[in-house]
Amino acid sequence: MRVLVLLGPPGAGKGTQAESFARSRGIPRISTGDVLRQVARAGAEADRKARALMDAGHLVDDDTVIGIVRERLAAADAARGFVLDGFPRTLVQAEALDLLLDDREPLVIVDIEVPDETLAQRLRGRLVCQGCGTPATVGMQACGKCGGTLAPRTDDEFAVVQQRLKVYAAQSRPIVEYYRRRPTFRSVDGDQPQEAVAADIAAAVASVVWGRQ
């Protein structure tokens, strides 16, 4: 059973890489960001508050996110393994994840490193389906999942982009240091074509799983 955590700042390509890695290995990609965007569209008061936080570039509170992950990891399709995308984002969440996975194999952690200038350019150009919330790849005219209309993400406006990178530096980057001393931690260069990043992630995971260096 394999458990992979993909780390990296907003715009690093975690979602694309997590989806590709999970699909190729027949395990689920678990994205807390996608789940939160879906529930926020439902209209409940708590969900609207979560959406407002995301639209402003802030993180949703730890208890809410940890609860979502705990419930998702208990699902049957996660028994063989999974890829976590967007979790953990704080040290509290990282510590909670260790407790949640206490009886599973050790985490494989891969950090995708990308310069801030590249991140800002990427974030300002992202689209998302207005119907199902699925992220779109460059050049798509409609959602590849449901055919819905694409529009820029509300949390990718310029001021929000700057805020998100600031929040990442303050709250999420310390997680890299939390994991860095573990023998299952690896980092890859995310400032290259998607195929090259995917190959580097696969090699990084292989070096942990099979002891290759």
- pLDDT tens-place string over residues 39-74: 555 554 545 556 665 666 566 788 888 888 888 888
* Set 37, 72, 122, 164: catalytic member: 164
Tell me which residue of 6, 5, 31, 12 sits closest to 189, measured CA to CA: 12
Domain range spanning residue 177? 2-115+171-209
pLDDT at residue 53 in the model: 59
Please give the average per-residue pLDDT across 125-149, as a whole number. Answer: 80
Specify the 3-state DSSP secondary structure of 179: helix
Q: How many domains does the chain have?
A: 1
* pTM exceeds 0.85, yes or no: no
Residue 155 lies in a domain: no
* Set 51, 89, 122, 186: catalytic member: 89
Average predicted confidence (pLDDT) for the chain: 82
> Which has more confidence, 83 or 69?
83
* CA atoms lying within 13 Å on the CB side of residue 18: 30
Q: Name the pLDDT band for 1 (thresholds 50, 70, 90).
A: low
Active site residue 153: yes
Contact 99, 186 (CB under 8 A): no
Contact 9, 172 (CB under 8 A): yes
Active site residue 126: yes
CATH code assigned at 31: 3.40.50.300
pLDDT at residue 11 in the model: 86
- pLDDT tens-place string over residues 161-205: 778 788 888 877 889 999 999 999 999 999 999 999 999 999 999
The radius of gyration of the chain's CA atoms, rounded to the nearest angstrom, is 16
Active site residue 89: yes
Residue 66 lies in a domain: yes
